[in-house]
């Protein structure tokens, strides 16, 4: 059976205007997300992951950020074309975002119960007060928090519990798409595993699609169906989770990421961080953006931008794999 496509991003390009120049944060990114699946956006700090997530929700800072090219097709409609007021309805009802720091989404002066109720009310204005309360209690239970704690304030919860509350708020509107931006990075490892497991259960139960933004391949292995590896605002490798973890062919950057991760490599003495830094988005190099750090770099890499090479849907943007090397 053909899988149903929920979201298609085509050639998305985003720039930030700064006092020092134009930062090319997202460069011609394209991907598709199927209904009920999770796509991982993986890459180092500054790769453009959050910018991509914010673009989908049209939450980029209006004065400094500009989407200069591309389409974001959600259920057949280009989100970049629809009026602002319709976008805020989509944001509430169909797409929601979970941020890295739970306090971005929680207000310290209101009880967690009232905050969940508020997000339910905003999205279902016909519900009565008792119905809203009931649904809020249901959401708390769903994320493993006893409803008796509804009248507590955020500071009375641990970091992991706060993030569960945020997840409850994000799911309260039964969204079709959740964009989770490093949802467990601030949590310690055991709590991280619990929260990820819970998100996975919820996803299965409701058939929610998800974009999981992370720099952690461990999180990718646990949660994702497909993976896009992002470097300097480009997707340099894309494939199923099997392609990424089991195939021998990889972009040299992906290989470098694997070697630099302690949890992917038993022998920690042989950890090899990738040398150098990601290029400044205000001064991106010509050719392949990874050539300045690539151990396999040859002349062509310095001048010619590589195309995607397609191995049955596993895409690698690297001259090593092109036939006319
Ligand atoms: N508001 C802004 N103004 C100017 N530049 C920005 C702004 N937000 C992000 N950038 C730049 O855009 C690039 C991409 O940033 P982004 O936050 O999308 O990266 P990221 O992959 O989410 O990184 P991290 O893993 O650190 O969260 C970076 O070089 C960043 O400095
Ligand atoms: Mg980010």
Q: What does each of the 325 residues of the chain score in pLDDT, given as a tens digit?
A: 678 999 999 999 999 999 999 999 999 999 999 999 999 999 999 999 999 999 999 999 999 999 999 999 999 999 999 999 999 889 878 999 998 888 888 999 999 999 999 988 887 888 999 999 999 999 898 888 999 999 999 999 998 899 889 988 988 878 999 999 998 887 778 878 888 888 888 888 889 999 999 999 989 999 999 999 999 999 999 999 999 999 999 999 999 998 877 655 455 556 677 888 899 999 999 999 999 999 999 999 999 999 999 999 999 999 999 865 5
Fill in the DSSP letter of residue 248. Answer: S
Å from CA of 175 to ligand 1 middle: 26
Indicate which CATH number applies to the domain containing 288: 3.40.50.300
Output the pLDDT for position 93: 84
Residue 111 lies in a domain: no
- What sign for the dihedral angle of Cα 99, 240, 56, 290? positive
Chain centroid to CA 258:
19
Output the pLDDT for position 226: 97
Six-digit token pair at 85? 């007021």
Per-chain residues with Cβ under 5 A from ion ligand 2:
50
Chain centroid to CA 78:
19
Contact assessment for residue 310 and residue 304, using Cβ atoms and an 8 Å cutoff: no
Kind plus residue range of the DSSP H or E element containing 300:
helix 299-303
Contact assessment for residue 5 and residue 34, using Cβ atoms and an 8 Å cutoff: yes
CA–CA dist 203, 175 (Å, integer)? 10
**CB 199: neighbour CB atoms within 10 A?**
27
CA–CA dist 17, 19 (Å, integer)? 7
Q: List ligand 1's pocket residues with C-beta within 6 A.
A: 16, 18, 23, 25, 43, 45-51, 61, 64, 215, 281
Contact assessment for residue 315 and residue 237, using Cβ atoms and an 8 Å cutoff: yes
Instruction: Tell me the residue range of the domain where 63 lies.
Output: 5-85+179-191+214-321
Residue 257 lies in a domain: yes
Residue 185 lies in a domain: yes
Output the pLDDT for position 160: 87
Residue nearest ligand 1's atom 26 by CA: 45
Question: Diameter of the chain by CA atoms?
Answer: 68
Å from CA of 164 to ligand 2 middle: 20
Residue 169 lies in a domain: no
Å from CA of 49 to ligand 2 middle: 6
Residue 310 lies in a domain: yes
CA–CA dist 263, 135 (Å, integer)? 39
| Residue carrying the six token digits 């930062």 | 23
State the total domains in the chain.
1
Residue 231 lies in a domain: yes
Residue nearest ligand 1's atom 7 by CA: 16
What is the gyration radius of the CA atoms in the chain, in angstroms? 21
């Amino acid at each position: 059976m053909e899988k149903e496509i929920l979201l298609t991003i085509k050639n998305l390009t985003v720039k930030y205007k700064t006092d020092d120049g134009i930062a090319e944060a997202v460069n011609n990114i394209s991907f598709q997300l199927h209904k009920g699946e999770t796509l991982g956006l993986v890459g180092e700090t500054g790769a453009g992951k959050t910018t991509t997530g914010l673009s989908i929700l049209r939450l980029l800072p209006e004065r400094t950020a500009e989407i200069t090219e591309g389409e974001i097709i959600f259920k057949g409609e280009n989100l970049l074309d629809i009026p602002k007021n319709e976008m805020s309805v989509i944001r509430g009802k169909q797409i929601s975002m979970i941020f890295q720091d739970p306090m971005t989404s929680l207000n310290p002066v209101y009880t967690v119960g009232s905050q969940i109720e508020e997000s339910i009310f905003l999205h279902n204005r016909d519900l009565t007060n008792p119905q809203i309360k009931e649904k809020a209690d249901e959401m708390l239970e769903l994320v493993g928090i006893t409803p008796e704690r509804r009248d507590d304030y955020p500071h009375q919860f641990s970091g992991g519990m706060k993030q569960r509350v945020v997840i409850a708020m994000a799911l309260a509107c039964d969204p079709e798409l959740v964009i989770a931006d490093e949802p467990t990075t601030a949590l310690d490892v055991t709590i991280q595993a619990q929260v990820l497991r819970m998100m996975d259960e919820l996803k299965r139960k409701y058939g929610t699609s998800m974009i999981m933004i992370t720099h952690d391949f461990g999180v990718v292995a646990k949660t994702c169906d497909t993976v896009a590896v992002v470097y300097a605002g480009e997707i340099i490798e894309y494939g199923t989770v099997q392609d990424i973890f089991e195939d021998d062919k990889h972009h040299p950057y992906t290989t470098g990421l694997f070697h630099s991760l302690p949890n992917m490599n038993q022998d920690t003495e042989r950890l090899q961080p990738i040398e150098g830094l990601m290029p400044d988005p205000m001064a991106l190099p010509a050719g392949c953006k990874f050539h300045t750090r690539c151990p396999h770099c040859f002349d062509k890499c310095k001048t010619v931008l590589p195309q995607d090479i397609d191995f049955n849907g596993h895409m690698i943007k690297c001259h090593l794999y092109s036939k006319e090397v």
